[in-house]
Structure 1
Amino acid sequence: MNWITNYVRPRINSMLGRREVPENLWIKCPETGEMVFHKDLEENLWVIPASGYHMKMPAKDRLRTLFDNGQYESLPQPKVAQDPLKFRDSKKYSDRLRDSRAKTDAEDTINAGVGKVKGLKLVAIVHDFNFIGGSLGIAAGEAIIKAFERAIAEKCPVVMFPASGGARMQEGILSLMQLPRTTVAVNMLKEAGLPYIVVLTNPTTGGVTASYAMLGDIHLAEPGAEIGFAGKRVIEQTLREKLPEGFQTSEYLLEHGMVDMVVRRHDIPDTLARLLKILMKKPVDGVREEIDRAPASADPAPKAEAAE
């Protein structure tokens, strides 16, 4: 036992009125190095005010700020097998699950909810990157499928917010099987005639990109998001070539036709509502409902008389 550290120093601090300051009060912008007070960052939807850099956003905060008045029905997490392969690397997979649940207060990486965005009912599915890198496993796959089934039952569209490093290696082939399963769920929604929009966030990579993240009717992306299958470093080592500046960013993909729009986080609810109303043939705010019709044509010319 260290007597000075454990007894003397705390006594001196208490006498002098010193208080321990939490380490996460100030957050550093990865782009400019600017320090931002965490409350200001949260109020600005986790976007650095000066630089506009989009930080990773907690899944529950995204759902709350997406739906009107922050009100929505949270969809339950389906019960699935835990640690089916009894996997262990530097620590047990069951311990990783326990630690991630304590950290995020969620059962797994997928958070889904039903609510209204600008008056339009929809199902939103959000990856939480803080839960084992947003990786796709059995629980996440099942939650996604159940959310699509709920949307089909409610006859409403689905909006997906992926943020993932890909399939969850601790579940092996069982994780990879979620890719075709979720693809089938997307096809079921489209067969029901309901829209599916994907909002790509930072990062969206691996098997998630190779499946439902690139199957939307429309693809939006947040500024500066990393989007791809393999990482930039892996590609450069494989090709032995230097990749272009900004490769695999939202803006690069927009320029090359892989993304339809790059949208600031603050504008996402309005943009989604407008696009979905157009896709579902509903009146759009600010757009005239009446359709301009061409003027009625004059009476058709009389048929030529038959030659006698």
Structure 2
Amino acid sequence: MQPNPTLDQLQILVTVAETGSFSAAGRKLNRAQSVISYAIANLEAQLGLKLFERDGTREPQLTGIGRAMLEDAQRMVGVLQRIRSRVDGYHQGLEAEVALAVDVALPSPVLVRVLKAFEAQFPTVTLRLHIGTLGLIPDLVVNGQADLGIGGLLGDVDVHLVRIGFMSMVPAAAPHHPLALLPKPVALEDLREHTQLVVTDQSERTRGHDYGVFAYRTWRLTDMRTKHILMREGLGWGGLPRWLIAEDLAKGRLVELDLEPFKEVSSPMFAMHRSDRSPKPAAAWLVEQFKRELGSFNEFEPNEMPEEEPKLYNEPGPVG
């Protein structure tokens, strides 16, 4: 059986291809040119293949099979680099995995930008992502299923909070919905007569309690996306994040309701972790990244919000 190429030989192959010469590869790897040439010659002998054309050329040129082998070598060297990065990260206290729980109310462009940056910043850290609503986010943090939660605060929860921004909830309905056709502002007695679509808490935190529910008749849903679809079809009214329905409002698929009981509510969003656990490097980086991205997404920075803004889910507002 022929000996397998070593990782050192493959790294030399990649370096020669990247630098364009044996001498340049030697300088980059801090080795003599003769050592580089010898390693490539040994690799070619082991494989029984000619990887570089040397005759009649000023610098070695990859052969056809050499280019194919280079792709394989680059993958192997990439794996080696990830192994080294993971080991270095472990020695520096970097977690192997981050479990992240995110409220669906968080603007999806913010989530995507943060996760793209996370992938680039921590390529060796595995991500476990939970998407939920209402009390499910703090519950996942408290019971240890999530290292970090991003969302509003529902009731009293023993977690450490960092305010990262705010989220605006807007009462809305389809343009042909009866509430959209009434004189403005719509009185509470009129509001109560029309079905309100309400997202229910997937946790036990608010069982038996309603927040921001005004109608006598409600349809209870388990997710905000379904609520959004039903509202566009005129099957009820309710509150939805402004970022989620901005295009619908602009194109007339939904209209913002002018209601006597409440208007748009800007409510704080938090990063949260257990009080008895400090976030490790990747989770701590996520907190700051969410704060930065949500701050730029909002109309103004989180620290410029009024001090007495309504608290998400804790006080009456268009949460339903």
Shorter chain as denominator, the TM-score bin is: under 0.3
Larger relative CO (CA 8 A, sep 6+): 1 or 2?
A: 2
Structure having the higher strand fraction is 2
TM-score normalised by the chain length of structure 1? 0.27
Larger Rg: 2
TM-score normalised by the chain length of structure 2? 0.26
